[in-house]
Amino acid sequence: MKRDVFASTPSPPYYAVIFSSQRTEGERGYGEMAERMATLAARQPGFLGVESVRGADGFGITVSYWSDLESIAAWRADVEHLAAQDLGKREWYAHYELRVAKVERAYGKSSS
């Protein structure tokens, strides 16, 4: 059974933004903003999908998929997203790593 937690991406090549992060303690308005950013990102040109999970210890990985680097740059420079990035650095993330990668090959296990 394939759940909609998986991104339905086209054949490579396309791009992945791998964001791994450690949340600070406390909610601090994070959930609402994360939802808003997910909605906004999905409306961006070039957005292909997203996969995201956070463990009970506050460590999480979100991978968003994009058709090209220009789309990633445009989303990164979005005004509302810039404000969220700033809050992320100051309030929500004790540490994070962001990697931009070009997906060259992809494989999957079919639904069963």
Task: Please pick, from the candidates 30, 44, 54, 67, the single residue that binds a copy of itself as defined by CB under 8 A.
Answer: 54
Q: Which is nearer to a copy of itself, 42 or 98 (CB)?
A: 98
62 closest CA partner among 75, 49, 71: 49
Query: What is the C-alpha separation between 110 and 33, in angstroms, rounded?
Result: 33
Q: Does 61 bind a copy of itself (CB under 8 A)?
A: yes
Q: Does 44 bind a copy of itself (CB under 8 A)?
A: no
- Least CB distance to a copy of itself at residue 40 (A): 20
HSE-CB for 22 with a 13 A CA cutoff: 3
- Least CB distance to a copy of itself at residue 56 (A): 7
HSE-CB for 54 with a 13 A CA cutoff: 14
Q: Does 34 bind a copy of itself (CB under 8 A)?
A: no
DSSP state at residue 6: S
Q: Verify cis geometry, omega within 30 degrees of 0, for the bond prior to 13.
A: yes
Q: Does 10 bind a copy of itself (CB under 8 A)?
A: no
Provide the binding-site residues for a copy of itself, judged by CB under 8 A: 1-3, 5-7, 9, 12, 15-16, 18, 20, 22, 51-57, 59-61, 63, 89, 93-112
